[in-house]
Amino acid sequence: MPSPFRFLRLATILRLTALMLLLVFLLLPGWFEPLLKPLVQENAPAIYNRGSLFWLTVLHLRTVFVATLAATFVAVSLAILVTREAGAEFLPLSRSLVNIGQTFPPVAVLALAVPIYGFGENPTLIALFLYGLLPIFENALTGLTSLPPAVMEAARGTGMTERQRLLRIELPLALPVILTGIRLSVVISLSTATIGSTVAAKTLGEVIIAGLQSNNLAFVLQGGFIVAVLAVLIHDALQALERSLAGRAHV
């Protein structure tokens, strides 16, 4: 019977292979032209030629990072507020606020934001920010309200202030659960960010849209391939970090 370590090693090899393949494709896309040529019409380019795939990927990741960072700050702050005695009454209001992003689809948010902020990255950041609030808030809330009572009682018994308990006990113990919400938010944002190119944001959606407009299947596959591999690699990396933090929390 195959050992779990063999599966783990195989999974690691596959992830490293996917990462190397992605890097080679981004830096030397011309190497893959013979594979993609059969997917395009005669004389049509097989490799996206309206910009650098590498820099579009960097800009795509930057947009996701900025939106997720802002969503994490707001969502975790709200979760901390409503888990304090003085802020418990704001829980229903906080839930309503973080649900806004799920109530309005990203396309609708873009349509509302463009008249105010113009075309470009800003409407996309707003849409991703709103869409990413809910999973981070709910996981932060779960993490902060499911701490071991014995640990909290011991912290109070040592004379820790509420601020000290939050920074030294609550947040470190809740971090693996919070990170799960961040992971979900990042994966959602990676795919959702592609629609930002409809309002002139520099994302990998630019490649997909160009393919759809010119009936170029190779372009569509390139954009989709990069986004999919990024989502899998980032998901796995954050999941590994969650397991590591959870293991330390139980030591």
Mean pLDDT, the chain cut into blocks of 10 residues (251 residues total): 63 85 91 89 87 93 95 95 86 87 80 84 91 93 88 81 86 92 93 88 92 91 93 91 74 51
Enumerate the domain spans of the chain. 52-249
Class of the 52-249 domain?
mainly alpha
HEC string of the chain equals: CCCHHHHHHHHHHHHHHHHHHHHHHHHCHHHHHHHHHHHCCCCCCCCCCCCCHHHHHHHHHHHHHHHHHHHHHHHHHHHHHHCCHHHHHHHHHHHHHHCHHHHCCHHHHHHHHHHHHCCCHHHHHHHHHHHHHHHHHHHHHHHHHCCCHHHHHHHHHCCCCHHHHHHHHHHHHHHHHHHHHHHHHHHHHHHHHHHHHHHCCCCCHHHHHHHHHCCCHHHHHHHHHHHHHHHHHHHHHHHHHHHHHHHHHCC
pLDDT given at position 50: 86
pLDDT given at position 7: 64
Prediction pTM value: 0.89
